[in-house]
Amino acid sequence: MPDIAIGELAARSGVSVSAIHFYERKGLVESRRTAGNQRRFAREALRRIAIIRMAQQLGIPLADIARMFAALPEPGRATRRDWQAMSRRWAADLDRRIALLQSLRGHLDDCIGCGCLSLARCNLLNPKDALSASGTGPVRLRQRNG
């Protein structure tokens, strides 16, 4: 099974052709060209796109994914260990997100209890408690900013 055309890659990976063009422009996937200037993708591209989609579900922006990919060794030469490292980093990220959501969820229970009618009483809306030390207003969690 040789390289595949973009249409097939799109069909197999579940993303649109235009999205693949876009990913290529962003350096997320690579292709070689046929004599007639058509793209041909190695099977690796299929995995890359799968990883892109997965990472997006985790809320990771394409730029970050691109950086991760860039940190891999030569294209096509990524070792099992490399992919594992990537997975581990994402797992850690995920854990952080889950923890944040769960903390928020806990506050929301308080909120349901108080009916949110009193700024003074509501734990979630009132920034004047322990959690607000890091900024103005009800800044409780601030995802991805560096």
Partner DNA sequence: CTACAACCTCAACATAAGTTTAGGTCAAGA
Partner DNA sequence: TCTTGACCTAAACTTATGTTGAGGTTGTAG
16 lies in the binding site for DNA (CB under 7 A): yes
CB of 92 to a second copy, least distance (A): 10
136 Cβ contact list (under 8 Å, min separation 6): 127
Half-sphere exposure of 12 (CA within 13 A, CB side): 16
87 Cβ contact list (under 8 Å, min separation 6): none
> Cβ(123)–Cβ(111) under 8 Å?
yes
x/- letters, 24..43, toward DNA (CB under 7 A): -------x--xxxxxx----
> Distance between CA atoms of 66 and 22, rounded to whole angstroms?
12
> Segment near a second copy (CB under 8 A), from 21-29, 30-38, 65-73, 113-121?
113-121
62 lies in the binding site for DNA (CB under 7 A): yes
**Residues in touch with a second copy (CB under 8 A):** 11-15, 43, 46-47, 49-51, 53-54, 57-58, 79-81, 83-84, 86-88, 90-91, 94-95, 97-98, 100-102, 104-105, 108-109, 111-112, 115-117, 119, 124-127, 135-141
